[in-house]
Structure 1
Amino acid sequence: MRTVDQGADYLPLYARALEDGRNILHKIQERFPGTPVYLLSFMAQANKEQKGDEGAFIDSMMQTLTLDLANAPGSSAELSEPRRRAIDDELFLACVRAGGARGVIITNFVGTYKPDWEDQRDRFLESLLTITQRLYRERMALKLARERKVLVFETAADMDKDNRTLTIRLRDFHLGRAVDASDAGEMVEDVQRPSTRFEDILGAAEAKNALKFVVDWLRDPKRYKAMGIRPPKGILLAGPPGTGKTMLARAIAGESDCAYIEKSATSFVTIWQGSGPQNVRYLFERARRYAPAIVFIDEIDAIGTTRSGGMGAARAQEETLNAILTEMDGFGAANQAPVIVLAATNLPDRLDEALKRRFDRTIEVDKPDRTARLLFLERAVASRKDSEVDRATLERLAGQTAGMTIADLERIIHEAAIMGAQQDRALCAEHIEEAFEKARMGEAKGRPDDETLERIARHEAGHAMIAWLGGNLPVQVTIVGRGGAGGFMEREVDENRILYTKPQIEQLIRESMGGRAAEILYYGEDAGLSTGVGSDLRHATQWAMRMVQEFGMNAEVGHLAVTDVTGNRGSDGPLSAQVAGQARIIVDEQMQKALALLKEKESDLNALATELLRKNRLTCDEIKAIIGK
C-alpha cells in the first residue's frame, strides 16, 4: 500500500486504496485468525547517481505506479515525480480499525545501491527482531495464563545482626500451576505428581505405545495439527485386575506437564438426587479451566454398564453416564484446549456401546509375559536387603507364574519376606517357593499316613514319567498336599503356543491318565482304582470331547463342529451319545498307551517314586538326574 502527498487525501484512488487495504486485512484474519499484521512503509528516495540495476528496477516499478496515479481522474501534476513517504496516521488508524493491524514498520532500506544500505538493513532487522520478541513474549504469556502457570521460587533469608541487614535470596525458579482454592483437593499438584515413568512399567507394550502418543501430542500439538491429527478424546484401558492400568495412568501424569485429575467412578453418585451428573459437570469444568488436561476415571464400569431404563439407583447411574457422554462430546467446552479422558475397567464387555464409541481406542492391558515377570522378580529381590535367592530359582519361578500379574508377584515376594522375618533369616529361595505355592494352591496340608503317601508318590511319578517321555519337561513334582490336591505334577508352560495338533492333545490326555496307569501297574486292575484321579479324568475328558465336538479330530464323527449343531455339549440325543462314546474310546486308547510306557520304564518309575518319597518335591534338574535323557 502506498501513499502520496497531501493532495491524495481527496483522491478517489486514495479511498479505493484504503478499501483494498481493509479487504486484504479481512481476508488475512479470516484465513489466519490471530495472526499479527504489521504495515511496512518505505520512506527513502534513491540517489540517482548511486542507482544500479536494482535501483533502475525500483524506479521502473515506481514510474509505473506514478503513471497509473497520474492517469487517474482528478490527479494533479505534482504526481509526475515519484517519491516515498511514511503511512500517515489516518491510513494507519483506518487499517487498525478495519482489519486489526498491530503496527507499522518504517524503514529506509530499499536496496543495496545506497552507500549506507548496511546500516539501514541492520536497523530494519533490529525492528523485526524487537517485534518478534514481543510477539513471542505475548504468546508465551497467553499460553501460561491459559494453563494457569506462574513463576515459583524459594527464598533463603540471611540475617546480619552486626550490620542490621536482612538479605533474601531467591532460588530454584520454575513454573508451577496456580490452583484455585476450590480445586486444591481435586487436582494432582506439581509437588504431588507421581514419579512413575513408562519405563517403570513392565510389559503392556501396546498400551504404553498408545499412551506415549497422548504425551507426545500434549508436548508438541502443532506438529500433529499440521498433519491433520486431532487430539485424542479418550482411551479405554481394559484388562484383568492387577495388570497395571492405574499405574499406566500415573505414568501419564508423571510424563506429561499438563493438569492431571484422578477420579473413581464410584464417587460420582451419592445419596443426593442429581449429584451424579452435577459431579461429572464439575469434574470437566475443572479440567477445562486447566486445559490441556487429562482426566483419569478408574473402574468406569461402576457407572458405565449398558443402560436398561430402570428406576431408582439404576436411573441415577444412567443419568451420570449420560452426563459423561455429553461432556466427552465436548458440548459446552469454553476453549479449544483438549481434555483427554483415560478410563480403566475390568469388564469391557459390560460397558454401554455409546460409552465405548466415545473412546478413540480400547487398549487391552495383558498380563506380563515371562520376560517381564523375570525382570520384576529380579528387581524385587535386588531391592531386599541380604537376599539369598539365586537366579535359577527366579527363572524357574518366572516360568511357573504364567497367567499371574505383577500385583500377584508382588504379593508373593511380600509374603516370602514376611516368612524370612518371622524366621529371622534373609530372604531365600525356600521362602519364595513356599509363598508361591501358598498363593497358587493354598496352605500345605498335614502329612498323611505312609501307605497313602507312597500311593500319592507313585501316582505323581506316573504323571511325571509320561510327561518326560512325551517331551513335556516337568518343572516340578511334589507330594505335599495343598488345597484339594494330595500332590501334583507341574510341567513347563509354552506361553507362545496358540494351537495344538492331534498328537499334542493325545499327549496331554496320556499325561492326565499317567497317574491312574501307575496305580494300576503297582496295585492291579481293581486295587489300582482310587479317588485321586478326579481332576485327571475331568481334564482328559474335556480334551477328548473337544477333539470330537470342536476340532473334527475323530474319524467316526468326521469334520463337524458338533457343538454348533447340538447346542449345549451335554444335550441328549443319539449324536451326543456318539460324541461321548468316541471320547471314551480316545481316553481308553491313551490310557493303554500310558500303561505300556510305564511298564517299559518301570525301573525309572520306581526310582522316581522312591526319591520323591524321600524329598517330597523334585525339580526338573533333579528329575533329569534320576531318569536321565
Structure 2
Amino acid sequence: MQMDDKKKRQSMIVYVIVAIVAAFAIRSVLYPSLTSGAIEEVSYSDFLGKVDSGEVKQVQLDTGASQIRFTTGDGDSKKTYKTTQFPNDDDLVKKLQDKHVDFSATIPDQNSNLWLYMLISYGIPLLLIFGGGWLLNRRLRKQMGDDAPSMNFGGGFGMGGGLGRSNVREVKGKETGVTFKDVAGQDEAKESLAEIVSFLEHPEKYAAIGARCPRGALLVGPPGTGKTLLAKAVAGEANVPFFQISGSEFVEMFVGRGAAKVRDLFKQANEKAPCIVFIDEIDTIGKRRDTSLNTNDEREQTLNQLLTEMDGFDNHKGIVVLGATNRPESLDVALLRPGRFDRRVPVELPDLAGRESILKLHAGDVKMVEGVDFGAIARQTPGASGADLANMINEAALRAVRCGRSRVTQEDITESVDVVIAGEKKKSTVLSEHEKEVVAYHETGHAIVAAVQNGRRPVSKITIVPRTSGALGFTMQTEEDERYLTTREEYKEQIAVLCGGRAAEELIFGQVTSGAANDIERATKIARAMVTQLGMSERFGMVALGETRNRYLGGGSELTCSDETATQIDAEVRAIVEEGRQMAMKTLTENRFKLHEIAHYLQKKETITGEEFMNILTRDDGFAPKFKQEPAE
C-alpha cells in the first residue's frame, strides 16, 4: 500500500515538471525572439556598415520591440543579425532602396503585445504549476485523511503535507487472521507472549494487584522464524487493533520527518488503545548512538522521539510495543532498558519436534496421501527455519501438480527438501564420464567417513546429479535425535567427514580438483571456531580470541587478539584441519575396496538411498568396515 501511495505522489510530481517544460516549450515556439540563440547581436553602426558594403540582403524593422533583424549572404553562408535601440534615422529607408535591399516593417498594437508576452512568459507556467500542485495536494489529502495538512508552494515542492504522517497499517485484531494455533515450533515464545495477551484481555486483574503490563517486547531471532507471525498472533488472540510498520519507513530525507512519523504513530495508537504497535526491523532506527562525527542526525532524532514516546504513554491503557530484529547487538542500550522493551523473546530456529510440528501445520492446507512421515523430513532438515519448511511443503505440492498427481507423496516432500537445500536439478549440465567418476568417488568418500564414525549422523542419500546451486553432487546426513552439546571429538569427526571427498580424490586419482571448495570453507570455519571461541585448542586453552558478529545473520567471528597471536591461530587451524584430512585418508585407505564398489554403483545409478549405501558397506564379504563404538553415556 505504501509503495502505491509513493508511486502516485511521484507520478503527480512528474506531471507537474512535464507541464512546466511544456509551457516553456510553447513560449519558445510562440515567442522565438525570447529563446533564439542563433542570432548575433550587433550595433546600429555595424548594421549601417554592412548596408554600405552591400552585404545586407533582407531587413525587417520591428518598431514594437525596437529591433532590426537583417540577413547577409545566401544559401549555406546566410547569417541573421539583430540590433536594438536604433535611432530615428530618416535616411535609412533611402539607403536600403539605393542598395536594393528587401525590407519590411511591423507596427503591432503595443497593449495586446504586452499582454500576450506576459501571458506566455509568466501566466501559463504559473497556472500549470499551481494547478498541478492543487491536484497533487488534493490527492494526498484524500489518501492520507482529511486532517492531513496542506502542502506548500503548489503541493509539489514543500516540506509540509503528508510527510509527517506515518504509513502505519492498521488491522483489527481478528482481521489479522492469525492466532497462536497458527504458530508452530515456537512454544517458549508463545508462552512468553501469552501474558501480554492476558493483560490486554483482562487488565483489571493486573490493576487490582498493582502490576503493570510490559511496555514492549523485543522479538529476536534469525530471518524466517516467525517474528511477524507471532506479533500478529498476539493481536489476534487479544482481539485488539494491530498497527504494523517497518523501521525503514521512518527514515526520511528531511531532518525531523522521522520523528514526526513516530509522534503520529503513537497518537493513533493512543486513540485506539488497547492495541499492539509492531515495528519490524527496528534496528533500522534503533541502532546504537555513538560520539563520532559521522552521525546521522535524522536517525538519532527518530530514535530519541521513539524513546520519549515509549516513556510517555500510559501503559495502563493497554498499548504494547512489539519490535522485531535479527541484529540485537546493534540496538541502543537506552532502547533495551526496563520500562521500554521490558522483555526479550527469543524466536530461534525450531528443534526436531518444532520442525515436525511446522511441517504438519503447513501440510494441513495441502492434500496429501496417508502415512507421510514428517519425522523423517524433520530429521533431514536441521537448521531449517519455519519459512524454509513452509517453502518445502509448497515445492512438494508444485511437484505433485507437475507430475500429474492430485495428492502430495513422501517422494515429493523428499525431493522438495533437496530443491530448497541444494536447488533444482540442472539438466543443462552434462558431466563427462571422467568428471562423473571423480564426483562419485568424492561423494562416496564423504559417506564412508561419515558412516564409519560413531553413527550419530547416518547417511540418508547420495547423489551426483548437478544442482542449480552449483553443487555437482551432495551427501545428505540425518540426525537421529536433537543434540545441544558438541564435544571436541565430534567436531574433529565433522571436519574429517568434510575432508573425506578431497581425501578420496587424492587416494584414487593422485590429484585434487576444485570440487572441495565448499568442504574446505566449512572445515576451516569449524576449526577456527574451536580455537577462537570454544576453547578447544590445546595450545591456547580456555581463552576467547574472537567475537561473533551478527550471529542471527550467519556472520563470522572477528579476532580480538594481537597479530602475533593471530599468526599462531592460523597455524593451529591448519593443524586441526590437517588432522581431519589424515583421519579421513586413513579411514578410506582401510576401506578402499568398499570405496571402489560404492563409487561405481553410484556412478551407474547417479542417486542412491542411505539404505542402499549401508547394505553395500556392511555386507559381509570380508571387506566390511569396523565401525567406531559410541561411548556409553
The 2-side partners of 1:581 and 1:285 are apart by: 60
**Residues 280 and 324, structure 2, Cα contact 8 Å, conserved in 1:** yes
Paired position in structure 1 for 2:100 = none
Structure 2 vs 1, CA of residues 616 and 282 (structure 1 numbering), >3 Å: closer, same or farther? Answer: same
**Residues 396 and 475, structure 1, Cα contact 8 Å, conserved in 2:** no
Paired position in structure 1 for 2:419 = 438
**Residues 288 and 330, structure 2, Cα contact 8 Å, conserved in 1:** yes
Q: CA deviation at 1:588?
A: 4.4
**Residues 255 and 297, structure 2, Cα contact 8 Å, conserved in 1:** no
Is 2:459 the counterpart of 1:477?
no
Is 2:296 the counterpart of 1:314?
yes
Is 2:219 the counterpart of 1:233?
no
Moved more, 469-478 or 310-319: 310-319
The 2-side partners of 1:551 and 1:453 are apart by: 39
Letter paired with 1:298: D
Structure 2 vs 1, CA of residues 530 and 362 (structure 1 numbering), >3 Å: closer, same or farther? Answer: same
Q: CA deviation at 1:235?
A: 1.0
Which among 265, 290, 306 is matched to residue 283 of structure 1? 265
Paired position in structure 1 for 2:312 = 330
Q: CA deviation at 1:583?
A: 5.0
Partner SS state of residue 176, structure 2: coil
Paired position in structure 2 for 1:536 = 519
Paired position in structure 1 for 2:84 = none
The 2-side partners of 1:304 and 1:581 are apart by: 40
Paired position in structure 2 for 1:105 = none
Paired position in structure 1 for 2:178 = 196
**Residues 212 and 316, structure 2, Cα contact 8 Å, conserved in 1:** no
Letter paired with 2:350: P
Partner SS state of residue 193, structure 1: helix
Structure 2 vs 1, CA of residues 415 and 310 (structure 1 numbering), >3 Å: closer, same or farther? Answer: farther
Letter paired with 2:265: L
Q: CA deviation at 1:473?
A: 1.0
The 2-side partners of 1:284 and 1:498 are apart by: 42
Q: CA deviation at 1:570?
A: 10
Q: CA deviation at 1:360?
A: 0.8
Paired position in structure 2 for 1:450 = 433
Partner SS state of residue 178, structure 2: coil
Q: CA deviation at 1:361?
A: 0.8
Paired position in structure 2 for 1:594 = 584
**Residues 381 and 389, structure 1, Cα contact 8 Å, conserved in 2:** no
The 2-side partners of 1:434 and 1:238 are apart by: 31
Partner SS state of residue 236, structure 1: strand
Q: Where do residues 24-173 of structure 1 align in structure 2 (5 Å cutoff)?
A: none
Paired position in structure 1 for 2:385 = 405
The 2-side partners of 1:313 and 1:551 are apart by: 36
The 2-side partners of 1:512 and 1:300 are apart by: 38
Which among 604, 607, 628 is matched to residue 614 of structure 1? 604
Structure 2 vs 1, CA of residues 493 and 570 (structure 1 numbering), >3 Å: closer, same or farther? Answer: farther
**Deviations 1:510-556 (Å, cap 9, x if unpaired)?**
22232233234333xxx24333333334444444555556656565x
Residue-pair matches, total: 439
Letter paired with 1:515: G
The 2-side partners of 1:600 and 1:312 are apart by: 61
Paired position in structure 2 for 1:375 = 357
The 2-side partners of 1:274 and 1:569 are apart by: 39
Q: CA deviation at 1:195?
A: 3.1
**Unaligned 5+ runs, structure 1:** 1-179
The 1-side partners of 2:545 and 2:229 are apart by: 41
The 2-side partners of 1:435 and 1:428 are apart by: 11
Structure 2 vs 1, CA of residues 495 and 300 (structure 1 numbering), >3 Å: closer, same or farther? Answer: farther
Partner SS state of residue 383, structure 1: coil
The 2-side partners of 1:276 and 1:494 are apart by: 51
Letter paired with 1:473: P
The 1-side partners of 2:569 and 2:252 are apart by: 54
Paired position in structure 2 for 1:354 = 334
Structure 2 vs 1, CA of residues 303 and 622 (structure 1 numbering), >3 Å: closer, same or farther? Answer: same
Q: CA deviation at 1:234?
A: 1.1
The 2-side partners of 1:231 and 1:309 are apart by: 34
Letter paired with 1:504: E
**Deviations 1:100-144 (Å, cap 9, x if unpaired)?**
xxxxxxxxxxxxxxxxxxxxxxxxxxxxxxxxxxxxxxxxxxxxx
**Unaligned 5+ runs, structure 2:** 1-144, 149-166, 548-557, 620-633
Moved more, 581-590 or 291-300: 581-590
Partner SS state of residue 522, structure 1: helix
The 1-side partners of 2:229 and 2:387 are apart by: 11
Q: Where do residues 548-559 of structure 1 align in structure 2 (5 Å cutoff)?
A: 557=539, 559=541
Q: Percent identity?
A: 37
The 1-side partners of 2:370 and 2:591 are apart by: 36
Q: CA deviation at 1:465?
A: 0.8
Which among 503, 528, 538 is matched to residue 517 of structure 1? 503
The 2-side partners of 1:544 and 1:511 are apart by: 13
**Deviations 1:164-190 (Å, cap 9, x if unpaired)?**
xxxxxxxxxxxxxxxx99799964346
Which among 201, 209, 212 is matched to residue 219 of structure 1? 201
The 2-side partners of 1:217 and 1:369 are apart by: 29
Paired position in structure 1 for 2:448 = 465
The 1-side partners of 2:247 and 2:352 are apart by: 33
Q: CA RMSD in A?
A: 3.6
**Deviations 1:146-202 (Å, cap 9, x if unpaired)?**
xxxxxxxxxxxxxxxxxxxxxxxxxxxxxxxxxx99799964346x62232112201
**Residues 458 and 479, structure 2, Cα contact 8 Å, conserved in 1:** no
TM-score, L = length of structure 1: 0.62
Moved more, 209-218 or 272-281: 272-281
**Residues 186 and 354, structure 2, Cα contact 8 Å, conserved in 1:** no
**Residues 402 and 495, structure 1, Cα contact 8 Å, conserved in 2:** no
Structure 2 vs 1, CA of residues 551 and 410 (structure 1 numbering), >3 Å: closer, same or farther? Answer: closer
Partner SS state of residue 366, structure 1: coil
Q: CA deviation at 1:584?
A: 4.7
Q: CA deviation at 1:328?
A: 1.0
**Residues 516 and 528, structure 1, Cα contact 8 Å, conserved in 2:** no
**Deviations 1:345-385 (Å, cap 9, x if unpaired)?**
23222222222221111112112222222222234334323
The 2-side partners of 1:189 and 1:564 are apart by: 47
**Deviations 1:420-473 (Å, cap 9, x if unpaired)?**
334433433444334332332234342301121112111211111111010231
Letter paired with 1:228: G
Q: CA deviation at 1:230?
A: 1.3
Structure 2 vs 1, CA of residues 497 and 373 (structure 1 numbering), >3 Å: closer, same or farther? Answer: closer
Paired position in structure 1 for 2:278 = 296
**Residues 389 and 429, structure 1, Cα contact 8 Å, conserved in 2:** no
The 1-side partners of 2:239 and 2:308 are apart by: 26
Structure 2 vs 1, CA of residues 562 and 576 (structure 1 numbering), >3 Å: closer, same or farther? Answer: farther
Structure 2 vs 1, CA of residues 402 and 562 (structure 1 numbering), >3 Å: closer, same or farther? Answer: closer
Q: CA deviation at 1:253?
A: 1.5
The 2-side partners of 1:587 and 1:310 are apart by: 41
The 2-side partners of 1:322 and 1:495 are apart by: 47
Is 2:381 the counterpart of 1:391?
no
Paired position in structure 2 for 1:246 = 228
The 1-side partners of 2:194 and 2:414 are apart by: 37
The 2-side partners of 1:551 and 1:187 are apart by: 46
User: Larger radius of gyration, structure 1 or 2?
Assistant: 1
The 1-side partners of 2:470 and 2:579 are apart by: 28
Is 2:188 the counterpart of 1:206?
yes
